[in-house]
Structure 1
Amino acid sequence: MQRHDLVIVGGGIVGSFAAYFARSAHPDWQIAVIESRAIGTGATRFSAGVHLPTGSSAHIRTLATRSAQVYAEIDALGMTPAEPGLDAFWVVPGAGLKALAAEANGWTIGPATDAQESQFRASYPDAVLVDDEVLAFGGTARRFDPPQIARQLLQHVGGEGLALFEGVRVAQMRVGNDGDTVLTSELGLELRARRTLLCNGPWLSGLLGPTVADALGLRVKKVAAMHLATGRQPEGEGGAGADGAADGARAALFWPGSDAYIVPLKGRAQHLLSFASREWDCDPDSGRIALSADDYRVAEAIIARHFSDWRPQICGGRVFCDTYAQDRQPIARIHPEWPSVAIAGAGGGAGFRLAPAIAEQAITLLEQGVP
């Protein structure tokens, strides 16, 4: 039976960052990453990859700020850079502007100036503000390619001392009297680990089992986004629009009240509309995870509320699942029964945005708990 200093279950963005931090701190460790599909697939494959360091709680703001620092660090190492930054605009009720400004950490959100509103109109000429809504400006949203980053992280830490097991699904997990975890795959492969990190996204609850998952308040929810055929290309990828405005205006638009945002898709005359799907307790292995009629109704309602004559056409989208905690706070903690096992996840659809900090905290917990 193979024995490792650390076994990471899940080769998505969290697991890849966990390997990165573990290898950086402990170059002598024998590390294994087990992924039931391929590195960078699963939920990571469908992530929009949008990063902006905001958060509805102090905990999430701290995670988002640290994650932004780490993404800057891997840029400096020559890993996949983000696309050019998108100026961030926000539409909120006037009374909610102060609360929105408090969600920014290390930067500011404030009422848009006349010049900023003109910039906004160049990107979204048909957007409307209703009731007492105001336009605010602040922050730079960055878009990344999450699957490519996951692969590059493991390439960066690869070589001797790193074992990758793709297409291997863990079926059973137990902890022996010596504290080692024994993980057994569906086909009988066994790995012994001094430390184990579980970060397999929407499959986390299944591996933990219902007793532990329920005790931690974990549920699986569908996460969805629509692609809109807007006919407007990002800057540098098209000419001027019919109204004479440059298609080159680049901006992200956030509606916190609708739990939604819209960003241009690189290389396409399309935008991505992210919104909150209402489907809970999904089975990520059912083969039935798809955009539903209800998803279309939710997306269409957002478009109808926030745009007038602009008639973007929904042309499909992307859909996956993620684990959510009851309090909507991400988890990086030791297993309630096994001190050599850590749990990292419950990103609640923001796993990419918070992945570096979640992974780093989990590795630190394992360092502290297991000499």
Structure 2
Amino acid sequence: MTRRLLFIGSGILGMMSASAAAKAGAFSEIIATEQAFGSIGASHYSGGVHFPYGRQARTRSLTRKSAVALAAMAGSDVNGWYRPLALRVAAGPDEAINPAQFTEPLDAARPDIGSLAPNFSDDTRFWNIGGAHVADVPALIAQLQRELVAKIRVAHGLRCIRLREKGDAAEAEFATGEIITADAVILAAGPWIVQPPFRELAETFSIRIKKVVALHLDRTSTPDDPLIFMPGVDAFLLPQPGVSRWLFSYTSADWDVRPETLACGLSRADLRAGRAVLEQFCPELGRDLTFGRVFCDAYSPTGPPVVARLMSKSRIIPAGAANGSGYRFSAQLAREAVALAAEDITVPRG
């Protein structure tokens, strides 16, 4: 029997899910659509950082399972899209660190914090921890598309304008006039999920969009420098030796932004907010945050991402709202979304 699976959105979650679906073999036809050519959404701006951490049991589980799957995908070719990293956890003098929130053991034995060591406050505490890596997310998406070229159809330039349940199928209509009917639809639209025609689904799951900012620190980094994670302020410093700088990602407080309005770049407020966070640990480095990148991502109200049916028999499955951690959770979220889509939900005809 022919079973068709449709993906709306071909970022990291969409393509990881398409790969999982091709391997599972539950669908005879797989179509992945993307409204642009290539990845222009959150995946394009992603730092690709994977660290073994989660505030909730659900996010820790996603992190652990995805880490195993991503390492297996990378195999021995660690010079491609995947690069293992040493990781240091940093905390202020009065900040409590909960070891249970990490999926790997913390080790306080004389951590080497690399070339930025002289810039940290003397009262900053550090731990060693394993299990971190960084990925070139657009390169991974391109690799998946090459690997799947004979197994799935990837359709660029298709903007969905209507998505609905229709009898025992789901139907997506695109701005080109094309209509695709499928047995199941995995909606991996990233921050566009709050816009028509998906807005009702987003409201049902209370999904909101928040700005994501990563600033470029104008200090040279080396291949031996570690990733430095600051869980208390939800920020990290990522060495980028290939471009002779660091990437500083911090948590923005700007909610309900729209992806199409962020093309104007960083604001003065973005720089000011990032400098204030970094200067809690490195008082002299804030002035070296002068440029960077800004976009947005979908966030769930409870923290863990959304992978669910709207109703028990629904054929439309929103997948995402990964709170800026789409890559870190992608492998396991993809498996869960495909497993849900593959369930037999045939409605008896009356």
> Which secondary structure does the structure 2 equivalent of 1:356 belong to?
helix
Which amino acid is the alignment partner of residue 329 of structure 2?
A: L
Q: CA deviation at 1:263?
A: 1.1
Which range moved further: 348-357 or 289-298?
A: 289-298
Q: Is the 8 A contact 1:41 1:147 kept in 2?
A: no
What TM-score do the two structures reach when normalised by structure 1? 0.86
Structure 1 pair 301/333, CA: closer, same or farther in 2 (3 Å)?
Answer: same
Tell me the equivalent position of 2:70.
71
Q: Does 1:149 align with 2:147?
A: no
Q: Does 1:168 align with 2:161?
A: no
Q: CA deviation at 1:183?
A: 0.6
Q: CA deviation at 1:20?
A: 0.5
Write out per-residue CA displacement over residues 291-316 of structure 1, whole angstroms, 9 at most, x where no aligned residue.
Answer: 22221111111232211445662231
Q: Is the 8 A contact 1:11 1:38 kept in 2?
A: no
Q: Does 1:218 align with 2:207?
A: yes
- Give the whole-Å Cα distance in 2 for the aligned partners of 1:351 and 1:109: 24
Write out per-residue CA displacement over residues 33-56 of structure 1, whole angstroms, 9 at most, x where no aligned residue.
Answer: 000112333110000001112111
- Give the whole-Å Cα distance in 1 for the aligned partners of 2:147 and 2:336: 20
Q: Is the 8 A contact 1:325 1:346 kept in 2?
A: yes
Write out per-residue CA displacement over residues 304-362 of structure 1, whole angstroms, 9 at most, x where no aligned residue.
Answer: 22114456622311111111111122011112376211111001111111111111101
Structure 1 pair 128/174, CA: closer, same or farther in 2 (3 Å)?
Answer: same
Q: CA deviation at 1:96?
A: 5.0
Q: CA deviation at 1:57?
A: 0.5
> Which secondary structure does the structure 1 equivalent of 2:254 belong to?
coil
- Give the whole-Å Cα distance in 1 for the aligned partners of 2:313 and 2:264: 32
Tell me the equivalent position of 1:24.
23
Q: Is the 8 A contact 1:233 1:264 kept in 2?
A: yes
Tell me the equivalent position of 1:35.
34
Structure 1 pair 207/353, CA: closer, same or farther in 2 (3 Å)?
Answer: farther
Which amino acid is the alignment partner of residue 234 of structure 1?
A: T
Unmatched 5+ residue regions in structure 2? none
Structure 1 pair 200/28, CA: closer, same or farther in 2 (3 Å)?
Answer: closer
Which amino acid is the alignment partner of residue 170 of structure 1?
A: C
Q: CA deviation at 1:364?
A: 0.6
Q: Is the 8 A contact 1:171 1:207 kept in 2?
A: yes
Tell me the equivalent position of 2:118.
125
Structure 1 pair 26/142, CA: closer, same or farther in 2 (3 Å)?
Answer: same
Q: Is the 8 A contact 1:225 1:273 kept in 2?
A: yes
What TM-score do the two structures reach when normalised by structure 2? 0.91
Q: Is the 8 A contact 1:79 1:152 kept in 2?
A: no
Show the 5 A alignment for 1:233-244.
233-235=221-223
> Which secondary structure does the structure 1 equivalent of 2:319 belong to?
strand
Which amino acid is the alignment partner of residue 166 of structure 1?
A: H
Unmatched 5+ residue regions in structure 1? 236-248
- Give the whole-Å Cα distance in 1 for the aligned partners of 2:332 and 2:114: 35
Q: Is the 8 A contact 2:21 2:27 kept in 1?
A: no
Q: Does 1:323 align with 2:298?
A: yes
Which amino acid is the alignment partner of residue 250 of structure 1?
A: D
Q: Is the 8 A contact 2:193 2:199 kept in 1?
A: no
Structure 1 pair 290/349, CA: closer, same or farther in 2 (3 Å)?
Answer: same
Q: Is the 8 A contact 1:228 1:314 kept in 2?
A: yes
- Give the whole-Å Cα distance in 2 for the aligned partners of 1:283 and 1:320: 9
Q: What is the percentage of aligned positions where both structures have the same residue?
A: 25
- Give the whole-Å Cα distance in 1 for the aligned partners of 2:78 and 2:343: 29
Q: Does 1:109 align with 2:102?
A: no
- Give the whole-Å Cα distance in 2 for the aligned partners of 1:157 and 1:78: 19
Structure 1 pair 309/92, CA: closer, same or farther in 2 (3 Å)?
Answer: closer
* 1:194 alignment partner, one of 183, 188, 195: 183
Which amino acid is the alignment partner of residue 125 of structure 1?
A: P
Write out per-residue CA displacement over residues 144-185 of structure 1, whole angstroms, 9 at most, x where no aligned residue.
Answer: 1101111211221221x41111011001012112x2111111
Tell me the equivalent position of 1:367.
342
Which amino acid is the alignment partner of residue 142 of structure 2?
A: R
Tell me the equivalent position of 1:241.
none
Q: Is the 8 A contact 2:91 2:125 kept in 1?
A: yes
Alignment root-mean-square deviation, CA: 2.3
Structure 1 pair 205/261, CA: closer, same or farther in 2 (3 Å)?
Answer: same
> Which secondary structure does the structure 2 equivalent of 1:158 belong to?
coil
> Which secondary structure does the structure 2 equivalent of 1:53 belong to?
coil
Which amino acid is the alignment partner of residue 222 of structure 2?
A: P
Q: Is the 8 A contact 2:114 2:225 kept in 1?
A: no
Q: Does 1:258 align with 2:233?
A: yes
Tell me the equivalent position of 2:85.
86
